[in-house]
Amino acid sequence: MNTNAEECLIHAVRVMMEKGIIRFFPFSWCFGLVDMRVESEMFADEETVLTVREDDWNGGPAECVVQELAQAMITSKVRFIPVKSE
């Protein structure tokens, strides 16, 4: 079960994907998994590779990408560029 903070992060990631701030590009299907590049100008790294189960992919890629990306953010595998105040 997700906490309120996790639910807020999942919602924020979903909105950023809908607006095109976060983009994903599948590039490999193998052994029931789909690999994809995830890109955003807001991420510290230029691109990140995520792997999701093909079963999830078949149900609609956006939601499984949202869930995996939020989990990667929680575990610090994906980091946002720090905001610097003027």
Phi, psi of 8 (to 5 degrees): -65, -40
Closest CA to 54 of 35, 71, 34: 34
Closest CA to 40 of 60, 75, 4, 12: 12
d(CA 29, CA 17): 22
pLDDT tens digits along 50-81? 888 776 666 667 788 888 889 999 998 888 88
pLDDT tens digits along 22-57? 998 888 888 888 888 989 988 888 788 888 877 666
Give residue 11's pLDDT band: very low, low, confident or very high (50, 70, 90): very high
